[in-house]
Amino acid sequence: MALITCAGLSLGYEGREIIKDLNFTVSGGDYLCIVGENGSGKTTLMKTVLGLIPPMAGSVVMGDGLKAGEIGYLPQQTQVQRDFPASVREIVLSGCQSRQKGFFYKADDRALADRNIERMGIKDLRDRCYRELSGGQQQRVLLARALCAAGKMIVLDEPVAGLDPRVTAEMYRLIEDLNKKDGITVMMISHDIGAALRYASHILHIGRRVFFGTKEDYMSSVIGREFISQGGEDR
């Protein structure tokens, strides 16, 4: 059974429908990229899958032992976070929240946080203040936090927005490693159609026209060929 099955999903906010009757599934080990024009509802879709906003119609069903709260989420950064006085470790630890039974973190929560800090290669930044880090370092911190919450799946909203090309490539490599080596299912919003085609196994294109399928099918489809030939600039 698939990790996530969306059936007949309609999305929107304030009563305005932006996506109608959307169907797709995410299975274990998939690397799904969501592409589409600006304003096509990519972030709204992601928030609906995570249960942050209710769908206007249709359903999101989690299966294969995946529970709500077990998905690691890497949201777009907010203004509040940019000048937040918190150490890297405090932020990564807050990812253990969903496993937390009592009021305080236990030794295994701390160990998990430290493991994920190491996994992201930011061990030497552990006690640094979040707001003093570079954009790429901040994204690694948030990814480490997401991994603390994630059992099987991470969901990323434009993880490379605002990063320079070298850091972007490193970020993509990290995510690819998580997918290939650790078998973590990835669902990612991307503006970068080139990277989406390079790394993803499946593509979900939303907008006026909708496509869902493997990367290979997308590249040979009409909608995919058009979007790619415009360099994903159909915005």
Residues that bind another protein (CB under 8 A): 14, 47, 50-52, 68-69, 71-73, 75, 78, 80-81, 83-87, 90-91, 93-95, 97-98, 100, 103-105, 127-129, 131-132, 145-146, 149, 155
Shorter beta-carbon distance to another protein: residue 153 or 203? 153
Distance CA 160, CA 76 (A): 10
Tokens of 110: 């701390």
Neighbours of 162 (CB within 10 A): 13
Q: Tokens 């990812």 belong to which residue?
A: 95
Shorter beta-carbon distance to another protein: residue 157 or 192? 157
54 sits in which H/E element: none
Distance CA 131, CA 133 (A): 6
Taking the complex as a whole, how short is the minimal distance between the CB of residue 214 and another protein, in angstroms? 27
Distance CA 219, CA 221 (A): 6
Taking the complex as a whole, how short is the minimal distance between the CB of residue 87 and another protein, in angstroms? 4
14: left (phi over 0), alpha (psi -120 to 50) or beta: left
Residues in the chain: 235
Shorter beta-carbon distance to another protein: residue 33 or 146? 146
- By the 8 A CB rule, do 195 and 172 touch? yes
Taking the complex as a whole, how short is the minimal distance between the CB of residue 73 and another protein, in angstroms? 4
Shorter beta-carbon distance to another protein: residue 55 or 232? 55
The DSSP letter of residue 38 is T
Shorter beta-carbon distance to another protein: residue 71 or 196? 71
Taking the complex as a whole, how short is the minimal distance between the CB of residue 78 and another protein, in angstroms? 7
Taking the complex as a whole, how short is the minimal distance between the CB of residue 69 and another protein, in angstroms? 3
